[in-house]
Amino acid sequence: MNGNIIKNSTRLINKSQYSVSTNCLNNIYKKLFYSTNANNKGLLGLVLNQDGRGGCLIDIGAREPLITRSDYFKRFTKRVGATSLFLGKDINDIGIDNTSLNKKKTNKKKKSKAGKLQMIDIQKLLVSPLLPHPDADPVDTFEFEFQLVKEALDNCSWKLNDSLEIRRSVISQHAARIVTGGFIMTAPKNGSINNPYDILNAMSEVSDEDKELQDQGFGELATMLTLSLKGKRSKAVSVCRKMSRFANQLAKHITIFNPRYISEEEYKKETKKTEVPEEDKEKILLNQKFMFDNEQTVAEAIETVESIDEVKVTVSSFVRWTL
């Protein structure tokens, strides 16, 4: 899926029509390619349901980066991602009574709004049973069988002679009229750019090893988002498939152009400002030029998608992670 997005990107961008300045592109490039922390080693894993109904993005750290390329590590990461995805709500609802103080506290369950991405409580994830990933290699069935996540994490650390850590996990659960999209990539080599083609070339000109890693759903930069659908056809399978493809394109756009806010309304709410300054407008997703059709903004691209399938589409939430 991710590979196809990259292959189709260059022909969708018309160099002469693209309006983003070179200076702005270089700022984007620096944020995208130089935002990784050399001391923050590990790997991001992206697990998406094939029908676009739910997904998980997980971050697992390691001391030695080569460890993250091993098949054993990747199988483990996929299983932790699947556990977060399938048990997400139940994990966050688990009560852990380690002290008498905890017993005195009243556990208030946080209700997540429909379509909103949900952060997983890592401490509660660690005491959950490790589930198999549905698309995993058959060897995975026996490799981590009948273990809690913490036990499997300790065993994986011992086998790889490293100290592994589950740093964060976010999920989008299967829900009616909610579509999840995602994009993950390995960090490209350093370089300079003058136009959007250079960004896309840097993303596509990766080593065979990195390309394989990305195709398997692993990388150092990733985005996951949710779209909320409304309308009579919002539950139709064909519509959901189209919206899933669009969500994946939008996830790639977010990965490259790194917006901070979804809409101007969100910007005003977060910053407590009554107006959006000109210099901050490019930080808002809906204001940005859509990389797959640079004659339209993201907001206009969404309107085009809505008119084709007669559904109302809203970007509910997104996360963009880098190591």
What was the pLDDT predicted at 60?
Answer: 92
* pLDDT value at 236 more than 50: yes
What would the mean pLDDT of 186-197 be, rounded to a whole number? 58
- Pairing, β 42-48 against β 218-219: antiparallel
Q: Which domains does the chain have, with CATH numbers?
A: 1-37+181-323 (3.30.479.20), 55-94+113-173 (3.30.479.20)
> Measured between alpha carbons, how far is 250 from 302 in angstroms, rounded to an integer?
10
pLDDT, greater one: 313 or 232: 313
Share in percent of the chain as helix, strand, coil (round to 5): 45, 20, 35
What was the pLDDT predicted at 113?
Answer: 61
Query: Residue 244 is which amino acid?
Result: S
HSE value, Cβ hemisphere, 13 Å, CA-based, for 318: 30
What would the mean pLDDT of 105-129 be, rounded to a whole number? 74
* pLDDT value at 243 more than 70: yes
* pLDDT value at 227 more than 60: yes
At residue 5 the predicted structure's pLDDT band, cuts being 50, 70 and 90, is very low
CB 311 within 8 A of CB 239: yes
Of 92-96, 109-113, 277-281, 306-310, the least confident: 109-113
| Nearby residues of 10 by Cβ (< 8 Å), 6 or more positions away | 197, 200, 201, 204
What was the pLDDT predicted at 25?
Answer: 52
> Measured between alpha carbons, how far is 138 from 267 in angstroms, rounded to an integer?
47
Of 10-24, 239-253, 281-295, the least confident: 10-24
Task: Kindly report the number of other CB atoms within 10 A of residue 88's CB atom.
Answer: 25
> Measured between alpha carbons, how far is 292 from 298 in angstroms, rounded to an integer?
9
